[in-house]
Amino acid sequence: MTKFSQWWKSPLDTLIASVIFYSVIPFPYIHGLDFRGVSRFAPIVGLLIGGILGLCDTGMIYLGIPVLTRSALVVCIWIALTGGLHLDGAMDTADGLAVGNPEKRLEVMADSATGAFGAMAAIAIVLLKTSALTDIEAHRWLILIAACGWGRWGQQLAILRYPYLKPTGKGAFHKEAIRSYKDIIPGLLLLLSLSGLLWLIDSQNLFLALAMILAGSAIAWLTGVWFNHKLGGHTGDTYGAVVEWTEALFLCVLTVF
């Protein structure tokens, strides 16, 4: 194998592993994939998922499906594409935070059974996404891509900035993969470019493009801050919660614009 092929094969394999890890998008079996660095490509996977959602939404427009039904279907496809991975984390996190004793929160979060607060969190997230999408009329496909991208960039930021609370688990190798800000800058640049694309498509939407940047970065940061404040760090479940709440709140904020 040449040095050139060695240079591109490792990032490509990690990208494929990231898509497999974070979604149910089908890939043929590839032997020897290393999943330890998947979090570095999380925003790219988010852009891919958002792109699929945008295509589905656009296709339903041509089928004449009303906006409320279309928005609900998009959110259902959204959950299906991720296999419910992040939503499950948001539910477990809500169950843990409902416990009054901070020492038992991680134990409750590790329990696979869904509690009342987890169910309520899932209902709230689905309702917020569906209602917000119903109120967003223009550039829905681009906003869906941005929502998925900012959610996963928020996950990267939480991985980098805060301690991981468990000695083992899926989140542990996420922490090993993202060690400095240079590991999350590529995702940020992609999201900034996405807002620039909106401005290129319609120069009158400069304010919306800036709103996407400010809302996305602020919400991605604040969700990580809040869960760290409540738990003293993060786990794999809270990484999923950061993704889900960033996506939902990002859509809600953009309804204003």
Contact by Cβ (8 Å): 44, 64: no
Please give the pLDDT value at position 170: 66
Please give the pLDDT value at position 165: 87
Rounded to 5°, the CA angle 124-127-128 comes to: 85
Please give the pLDDT value at position 7: 37
Report d(CA 222, CA 253) in Å as an integer: 14
Residues of the chain under the 50 pLDDT cut: 1-8
**What are the residues whose beta carbons fall under 8 Å from the beta carbon of 18, sequence distance 6 or more?**
37, 38, 39, 40, 41, 42, 44, 45
User: Hey, where are the domains in the chain?
Assistant: 44-254
Report d(CA 156, CA 222) in Å as an integer: 13
Query: How many whole angstroms from its chain centre is CA 97?
Result: 20
